[in-house]
Amino acid sequence: MNSRLYLDHNATSPMRPAVRAAMQAALAGPHNASSVHAEGRAARQILDAARARVAGVIGASAPGVIFTASATEAINLGLRGMVDGPAKIRRLMISAIEHDAVRVTAEDIAARRDVALDIIPVTAQGQIDVDWLCHRLNAHVAGTDGNLLVAVMAANNETGVIQPIEAIAPAIFRSRSYLFVDAVQAFGKMPLDLGSLGADLAAISGHKVGGPVGAAALIVKPGLAIAPVVTGGGQELFRRAGTENLPAIVGLAALCAELGVAEFAALSGLRDAIEASLPAVARVWGQGAPRLANTLSFSVPGFSSETQVMALDLAGISVSAGAACSSGKVRRSSVLSAMGASADEATSNVRISLGWDTPMTAPATFARVYTAEIARWQKRHAA
């Protein structure tokens, strides 16, 4: 497998050696952090240290860190916990480009509960329409109109476009509404200080930057109470029942010591080189907006996502269709559609995402393979 070129870090990233070493050391246990005996107390110490380290790296308070098994679970807990908790959320406003974990969960809540759902439009560059949102927030009367939770991701998983969270946060708080940030793609890839941002809730996960699958977290602001989704135990201050997955949490904490935002920013050199090698027919998404250094999304109308991904796979390069869903199927990208892409563009999209182990030779390898694939496709097309 070593000769392959893996360019799908936004889906998941290979585990970093230091993370693996920390997890291996923690695997044997016993480690039930709720037990009162010596082994339990030792596990509690490890858990507390991990919580403090995760909190420290994102400017959060340690008691606000609720460990979960995935970001999807953290997002469910955040959204459902705010509807069922003391905040009594009765209106959700989410951006048109949210990940399914947010969008489908918000739709499910709206379908089952007395909760309204609004969609915040995005510009052609893939950033939320700040004027639209501020206008709505100015007109919103908390209490009368139902308490409002606004969910906007920090950076988009398909295009890498960074969202103007700092610009919208003051208007959200002025309207006495709550801010939820899906920071899954931002974590470890760009500066993230939840404390200074003032976000009420945020979801993070480590496996997009070399951490383990199986440990993620919902971060809540000090003093903000949410209702649990999983009940039956006092773990995580009664907000997420179930014995904590200590080895994975140790891995997430070890990851925090490895993250370097400056080092990650340097990936933009490789990304830009790949972008420069694309054929003239390719349309790059979010090119005029601030983007994560590692992400490139483009479409070649007429050359379907599925065919491109399969051709690159056969040639030893792993990428994804921007619109690949969790079932592995490729569908029309709702993110690109929201940005104004045509049906053809939204089904001929490829996402390249680099990461900590991407070799310097990646642009040359990609250019060689992709140029040949494009030539083959054009020949087929002309025939």
Which positions are catalytic?
325
Q: Please say which residue, 180 or 366, places its beta carbon nearer to ligand PLP.
A: 180
DSSP state of 37: S
Q: Please say which residue, 72 or 175, places its beta carbon nearer to ligand PLP.
A: 72
> Is the separation of the CB atoms in 264 and 347 below 8 Å?
no
**Nearest distance from C-beta of residue 135 to ligand PLP, angstroms:** 26
365 lies in the site for ligand PLP, by CB under 6 A: no
DSSP state of 246: H
Residue count at the site for ligand PLP (CB under 6 A)?
A: 11
13 lies in the site for ligand PLP, by CB under 6 A: no
**Nearest distance from C-beta of residue 205 to ligand PLP, angstroms:** 5
205 lies in the site for ligand PLP, by CB under 6 A: yes
> CA-based angle 105:179:354, to the nearest 5?
70
Among 32, 35, 61, 70, interactor with ligand PLP by CB under 6 A: 70
Q: In 3D, which of 339, 340, 350, 347 has the Cα closest to residue 296?
A: 350
> Is the separation of the CB atoms in 203 and 218 below 8 Å?
yes
**Nearest distance from C-beta of residue 197 to ligand PLP, angstroms:** 17
Q: Which stretch binds ligand PLP (CB under 6 A): 178-186, 236-244, 251-259, 265-273?
A: 178-186
Q: Name the token pair of 165.
A: 């969270």
61 lies in the site for ligand PLP, by CB under 6 A: no
Q: Please say which residue, 217 or 317, places its beta carbon nearer to ligand PLP.
A: 217
Among 8, 182, 236, 258, interactor with ligand PLP by CB under 6 A: 182
**Nearest distance from C-beta of residue 295 to ligand PLP, angstroms:** 11
Say whether 26 sits in a helix, a strand or coil.
helix
Say whether 120 sits in a helix, a strand or coil.
strand
Measured in residues, the chain has a length of 383
Q: Please say which residue, 140 or 351, places its beta carbon nearer to ligand PLP.
A: 351
184 lies in the site for ligand PLP, by CB under 6 A: yes
Q: Please say which residue, 205 or 297, places its beta carbon nearer to ligand PLP.
A: 205
- Rounded to whole angstroms, the Cα distance separating 249 from 252 reads 5
How far CA 84 is from CA of 60, 63, 148, 231, in Å, comes to 23, 20, 13, 13
Q: Please say which residue, 43 or 77, places its beta carbon nearer to ligand PLP.
A: 77
**Nearest distance from C-beta of residue 97 to ligand PLP, angstroms:** 9
153 lies in the site for ligand PLP, by CB under 6 A: yes
- Tally Cβ neighbours within 10 Å of residue 163: 25
Among 23, 65, 72, 77, interactor with ligand PLP by CB under 6 A: 72
- Rounded to whole angstroms, the Cα distance separating 44 from 81 reads 25
Window 304 to 363, contacts with ligand PLP (CB under 6 A): none
- Rounded to whole angstroms, the Cα distance separating 192 from 59 reads 8
> Is the separation of the CB atoms in 365 and 3 below 8 Å?
no
Q: Which stretch binds ligand PLP (CB under 6 A): 179-187, 289-297, 302-310, 335-343?
A: 179-187
Mark 95-124 with x for binding to ligand PLP (rule: CB under 6 A) and - for no binding: ----x-x-----------------------
Q: Please say which residue, 78 or 363, places its beta carbon nearer to ligand PLP.
A: 78
- Distance in angstroms between the alpha carbons of the first and the last residue of the chain: 35
Q: In 3D, which of 189, 165, 192, 190 has the Cα closest to residue 179?
A: 165
Phi/psi at 269 (5° precision): -60, -45
- Which residues of the shown chain bind ligand PLP in the complex (CB under 6 A)? 70-72, 99, 101, 153, 157, 182, 184-185, 205
